[in-house]
């Protein structure tokens, strides 16, 4: 199985087979069991380039910590540099530069397809740390791994996926990720303007994943094992009044989750702003801080499998 | 004594006892004697998070150098990230993220009390690298250590503390730090608008520290062993004319210091703009460049004592 | 020869003798042959300060990679810090701080002479990573080394140097660098407003370097071994109409280079914007991506020779 990861690009969660993800999760288990508190030297002498054209503190720092815990060095842009690159030279030349300087490139960009384009230019492996509105494969890996840790399996559970399902890349990647497993049912909960795109629904149909679109979490809360929450941004609404009208319905409160099953777990890719009430944070339902703890070990596993070959 | 530092938060210089500071200074002596030019591996595998919500090149870099000389890795925000965090998610979630990613958090923030709040949330130790208008404990440690190196002791000396004593956290922390020792006398020299706050004077009274408030350095220059200079910012004055009227009186010139005792030493936490005339820089009185050299070893000691336990 | 580099400042390519450069190139050959893929530990425990007051992603990252591959740690400013330093404290104090924190300072600044000034203040060696309109010595080293690798020698070749020869520091440094060798002839190709400055021509005369000033590349393309291209910036023209009139003549196209000799190689210090047509990138003529690959090994050599003494 190791050879399937060796020097591989990671562009979309859909590029992965179920057994590949399971191998990644088992590797992550090993890291959490035995290595997370030590500095491993598996990637000594390697250089990881973090090319964040769109800022993301959590994702950037978690890759940086993962790389450093493995002994690798990290290079990255300053804010001003990423801005001036965006305005100046063509992206291909920037990718060539990073390909020249590093052993692996982690890229994040506002625009769809940039990670794939970078992977075509670079000889070194490229990891997509989020681009466009669909793909954030390492976040999906973290989210799936979290479910597996909380429930022992990803299959057979009922999921509510809440928020901006149209433009939110974490939500879309999670849906894509679930389609690789056998969930019992997905409830796709969003306002009209932020419905899941047709191509995603097509994929669910093709893969025989049961789903239903909903406007309200209240209607399904008692059926859910997992409620995956993402933010609804005001700017997405053509009519601001429409945003004001619906925003309350997509806020997760203590009252809401208490109407759920006892086993219900609330996930969120973070950062959250006010889409989850603070009163939920300290409850048994909140799993997003646990989820956040898997960012580093999942990314460590991925870096080891891609760069380190058979050394673990 | 070591156990008193182990995994400890450093929020205010007032949290420290005299013997604790002396232990820290002795550790710093050892580092300067034997280790400063080598890479020590006491903190190999540790990750130090530098969370500077308010920029400070010197303080940030001196923590970074201290950490790296000890073998630790460092993570920090880009300018754009610290800005977007300030606007976006709640501070508690940011602290939880850093707590998750690192072994120790160094924090700097414009607002009073943020370091203490961070320490309450984080399981890992938190060092205050300056918050609000009162607390900058590691700067006070450097300043006290500088006096101890220059004069052999902190007790028994006469200090002039000059500048913005109302809003300047370095000056206030130095006054607090001196209150832990037995100075002969403190002259607190500032314009009316930037007087020491009442609570600081109360503390000096309670600790039986002799002090006197002054408007002019000229009046006391011949009595001082140490003149601690800080900047007076125009923006602090409600009336700009008042600033123009007084600013000359708080500028340290060669003429001024030559009227002092031969042993007089001028300290400044740096960076300075124009509050000390360049002609003073090359004189025997100037001790601020020496003082600056103690930033790294003091912070190395602190990191070792907090994280390294008994390994030195 | 090693002792000539030990703890040396690198301010201008003109500070170097031919045999010194050849020694540097031989060291670079060794690194490329044997070490480029491994982490070397020659500079373990050293700290390199990157003081980029003017942003330059390529140059900064290539120094950072060079330092890290040698085992050194790197400290640098955030964008916001370099800005606030520029506005705040005097440069001398900033240099003293970096001198205190690091073992070598790499500096880049918009203004002429800043690197030299820094070298006068700092006890540690200073490398000029570009200042003012003349000096970028490490870029010239890379460019000369590239020619040597491509043609086996720098002597005896005909060079076209194209673009902004008045304000462009890479072009000027390359001309200076060539003057240390024995080129057959230099064609200096630029619009009237961006002619080579008189002092540079004087130097070429004094060193008996044959040169000719030209307005059009077409006129000389068939005589060139090397065409060194740099960007012409609109802002340099007092009259924007003049820029619009001439810009086409200074763009390198596939048609242009195909009229050159078969051995013709096009160099460019990068980043390029649109001064070279994309159709040239994939041609045999394009040598700028090869040239870019020498940035790290040249800078590794320089760091080793300056800091590492006789350890290679």
What angle do helix axes B79-87 and C79-87 make, rounded to 10 degrees? 100
The predicted-structure confidence for B4-45, as pLDDT tens digits, reads as follows: 999 999 999 999 999 999 999 999 999 999 877 778 889 999
What's the pLDDT score for residue C258? 97
User: For residue B300, what pLDDT is reported?
Assistant: 96
CATH fold group of domain B137-292: Rossmann fold (3.40.50)
Q: Which helix (H) or strand (E) holds A120?
A: helix A114-121
Q: What pLDDT, on a 0 to 100 scale, did the predictor assign at position C116? A: 98
Contact C61 A75 (CB under 8 A): yes
A271:B79 CB<8 A: no
Q: Closest to A81 (Cβ–Cβ): which among C39, C57, C69?
A: C57
Among B57, B68, B270, the residue with its CB nearest the CB of C81 is: B57
Cβ atoms C185, C210 nearer than 8 A: yes
Q: How far is A138 from chain C (nearest CA, A)?
A: 26
Within chain B, residue ranges assigned H as helices are 2-5, 18-34, 57-69, 79-87, 91-101, 114-121, 137-151, 169-178, 198-206, 240-246, 254-258, 278-281, 288-293, 295-303
Interface touch C58/A84, C-beta < 8 Å = no
Distance, in Å, from the CA atom of B263 to the CA atom of A29, rounded to the nearest integer, reads 64
The predicted pLDDT at position A216 comes to 93
DSSP per-residue letters across B42-61: TTTT-EEEEEESS--HHHHH
Determine what percent of chain C is predicted with pLDDT higher than 90: 83
Please answer whether residues C105 and C77 qualify as being in contact, where contact means their C-beta atoms are separated by less than 8 angstroms: no
Cβ–Cβ under 8 Å, residues A150 and A188: no
H or E stretch covering A149? helix A137-151
CA–CA separation, C57 vs C37, rounded Å? Answer: 22
Q: Tens digits of per-residue pLDDT, C145-164?
A: 999 999 999 999 999 999 99
pLDDT class of A80 with cuts at 50, 70, 90: confident
Omega before C271 within 30 of 0, i.e. cis: yes
The pLDDT value recorded for residue C104 is: 98
Q: What are the chain C neighbours of B58 within 8 Å (beta carbons)?
A: 97
User: Residue A11: which of A188, A155, A169 has the closest Cα?
Assistant: A169
Average pLDDT for C192-208 = 96
Average pLDDT over residues A45-57: 94
Break chain B into its structural domains and give their ranges: 2-135+295-308, 137-292
Q: Which residue has the tokens 């060696």?
A: C125
In this structure, are residues A157 and A225 in contact, taking their beta carbons and an 8 Å threshold?
yes
Nearest to B100 among A38, A69, A293 (CB): A293
Say if residues B9 and B64 touch (Cβ distance below 8 Å): no
DSSP run (H or E) holding A246: helix A240-246
* Model pLDDT, residue C256: 96
C67-106 confidence digits (pLDDT tens): 999 999 999 987 778 777 776 678 999 999 999 999 999 9
Sign of the CA dihedral with A246 first, then A247, A248, and A253 last:
positive
Q: Do A55 and B102 touch (CB under 8 A)?
A: no
pLDDT in tens, C96-131: 999 999 999 999 999 999 999 999 999 999 999 999
> What's residue A88's pLDDT?
67
Residue A139 and residue C216: Cα distance in Å, rounded?
54
Full-prediction pTM beyond 0.80?
Answer: yes
Report CA B183 to chain centroid distance, whole Å.
18
pLDDT at A311 (0 to 100):
60
Which fold would CATH assign to domain B2-135+295-308? Rossmann fold (3.40.50)
Confidence of residue B81 (pLDDT cuts 50, 70, 90): confident
pLDDT of amino acid B235: 79
**B89 → closest Cβ in A79, A272, A295:** A272
Q: Rounded to an integer, what distance in angstroms lies between the CA atom of residue B5 and that of residue B25?
A: 13
Nearest C-alpha neighbor of B50 from the set B28, B81, B21: B81
Q: Which two tokens stand for residue B278?
A: 């360049």
pLDDT confidence tier of residue A55, bands split at 50, 70 and 90: confident
Quick check: B94 pLDDT over 90?
A: yes
Cα–Cα distance for residue pair A263/A151, rounded to 1 Å: 9
Average pLDDT of the segment spanning C237-250: 83
Q: Among all residues of chain C, which has the CA nearest to that of A103?
A: C37
Torsion region of C46: left, alpha or beta (phi above 0 gives left; psi -120 to 50 gives alpha): beta
**Has residue B96 got a pLDDT over 90?**
yes
Rounded to a whole number, what is the distance in Å from the CA of B90 to chain A's nearest CA? 7
Share of chain C above pLDDT 70, in %: 98
**pLDDT value of position B233:** 82
Please report the pLDDT score of residue A79 as a whole number: 72
pLDDT of C47 > 60? The answer is yes
Please state the rounded mean pLDDT for residues A7-14: 98
Average pLDDT, chain C: 94
Residue A104 pLDDT class (50, 70, 90 cuts): very high
Average pLDDT of span A131-155: 98
- Encoded tokens for B38: 């080598």
Contacts of A73 in chain C (CB under 8 A): 68
Band the pLDDT of B245: cuts 50, 70, 90.
Answer: confident
Which pair of structure tokens corresponds to residue A69?
Answer: 């815990």
| Residue C292 distance to chain A (closest CA, Å) | 8
Q: Contact B23/B80 with Cβ under 8 angstroms?
A: no
d(CA A65, CA A71): 10
CB contact under 8 A, B271 and C93: yes
Angle between helix B198-206 and helix B169-178 axes, rounded to 10 deg: 10
Instruction: Enumerate neighbours of C (3 or more CB pairs within 8 A).
Output: A, B
d(CA C278, CA B200): 67
How would you classify residue C7: left for phi > 0, otherwise alpha for psi between -120 and 50, otherwise beta?
left
Residue B92: the pLDDT is: 93
State yes or no: pLDDT of C200 exceeds 80. Answer: yes
Mean pLDDT (chain A, rounded): 94
**B76-109: buried (b, 16+ CB within 10 Å) or exposed (e) per residue?**
bbbbbbbebbeeebebebbbbbbbbbbbbbbbbb
Of the two residues C41 and C67, the one the predictor is more confident about is: C67
Between A and B, how many residue pairs show a Cβ–Cβ distance under 8 A?
Answer: 56
pLDDT for B103 beyond 80: yes
SS (H, E, C) chain C: CHHHHCCCCECCHHHCCHHHHHHHHHHHHHHHHHCCCCCCCCCCCCEEEEEECCCCHHHHHHHHHHHHHCCCEEEECCHHHHHHHHHCCCHHHHHHHHHHHCCEEEEEECCCCHHHHHHHHCCCCEEEEEECCCECHHHHHHHHHHHHHHHCCCCCCEEEEECCCCCCHHHHHHHHHHCCCCCCEEEEECCHHHCCCHHHHHHHHHCCCCEEEECCCCCCHHHCCEEEECCCCHHHCCCHHHHHHHHHHHCECHHHHHCCCCCCEEECCCCCCCCECHHHHCCCCECHHHHHHCHHHHHHHHHHHHHHCCCC
**In CATH terms, are B2-135+295-308 and B137-292 the same topology?**
yes
What is the distance between the alpha carbons of residues A261 and A167, in angstroms, rounded to a whole number?
29
Let me know how long chain A is. Answer: 312
Interface test with C, best of A73, A87, A122 (most C CBs within 10 A): A73
The CA-atom distances, in angstroms, between C185 and each of A37, C159, C174, C195, C204 are 62, 6, 14, 17, 11
- DSSP character for B213? E
Is C217:C252 a contact under the CB 8 Å cutoff? yes
Place of tokens 């006129």: C219
Phi, psi of A167 (to 5 degrees): -110, -5
Which residues in chain C have their CB less than 8 angstroms from residue B293's CB? 100
Bigger pLDDT: C192 vs C312: C192
Write down the ipTM of this complex. Answer: 0.94
State whether the Cα torsion B2-B38-A38-A289 is positive or negative: positive
What local confidence, expressed as pLDDT, does residue A127 receive?
98
Sole residue written with tokens 């720092």: A61
Cβ contact A64–B44 (<8 Å):
no
Matching residue, tokens 């000029």? C128
Tell me the residues of chain C between 52 and 81 that have a Cβ less than 8 Å away from chain A.
Answer: 55, 57-58, 60-62, 64-65, 68-69, 78-80
Kindly identify which residue of chain C lies nearest to residue A88, measuring between CA atoms.
C273
Give residue B285's pLDDT band: very low, low, confident or very high (50, 70, 90).
Answer: very high
C27 CB-near residues (< 8 Å, 6+ apart)? C301, C304, C305, C312
Is A38 in Cβ contact with B45 (below 8 Å)?
Answer: yes
Q: What is the mean pLDDT of residues A234-252?
A: 84
Q: Using the CB atoms, write b or e for A67-100: b if 16+ within 10 Å.
A: bbbbbbbbbbbbbbbbebbeeebebebbbbbbbb
Tell me if A222 sits within 8 A of A260, measured CB to CB: yes
Task: Average the pLDDT over A248-262 and give the result.
Answer: 94
Contacts of A274 (CB under 8 A, 6+ apart): A251
Residue B310, pLDDT score: 55
Query: Looking at the predicted structure, is the pLDDT value of residue B88 above 70?
Result: no
Residue C237 pLDDT > 90, yes or no? no
């Amino acid at each position: 199985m190791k050879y399937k990861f060796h020097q591989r690009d990671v562009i979309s969660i859909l590029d992965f087979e179920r057994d590949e993800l399971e191998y990644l999760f088992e590797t992550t288990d090993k890291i959490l069991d035995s290595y997370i508190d030590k500095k491993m030297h598996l990637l000594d002498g390697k250089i990881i380039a973090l090319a964040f054209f769109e800022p993301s503190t959590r994702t950037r720092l978690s890759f940086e910590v993962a790389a450093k815990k493995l002994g690798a060095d990290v290079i990255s842009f300053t804010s001003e540099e990423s801005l001036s690159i965006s305005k100046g030279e063509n992206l291909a030349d920037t990718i060539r530069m990073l390909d020249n300087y590093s052993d692996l490139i982690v890229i994040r960009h506002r625009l769809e397809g940039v990670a794939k384009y970078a992977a075509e230019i670079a000889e070194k492996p490229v990891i997509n740390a989020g681009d466009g509105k669909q793909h954030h494969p390492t976040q999906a890996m973290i989210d799936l791994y979290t479910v597996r840790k909380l429930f022992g399996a990803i299959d057979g559970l009922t999921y509510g996926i809440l928020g901006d399902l149209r433009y939110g890349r974490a939500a879309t990647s999670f849906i894509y990720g679930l389609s690789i497993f056998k969930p019992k049912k997905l409830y796709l909960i969003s306002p009209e303007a932020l419905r899941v795109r047709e191509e995603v629904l097509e994929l669910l149909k093709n893969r025989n994943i049961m789903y239903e679109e909903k406007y309200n979490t209240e209607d399904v809360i008692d059926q859910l094992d997992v409620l995956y929450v993402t933010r609804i941004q005001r700017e997405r609404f053509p009519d601001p009044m429409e945003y004001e009208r619906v925003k309350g319905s997509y806020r997760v409160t203590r009252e809401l989750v208490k109407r759920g099953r006892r086993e219900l777990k609330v996930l969120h890719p973070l950062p959250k702003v006010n889409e989850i009430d603070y009163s939920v944070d300290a409850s048994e339902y909140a799993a997003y801080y646990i989820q956040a703890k898997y960012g580093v070990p999942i990314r460590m596993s991925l870096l080891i499998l891609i760069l380190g070959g058979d050394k673990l």
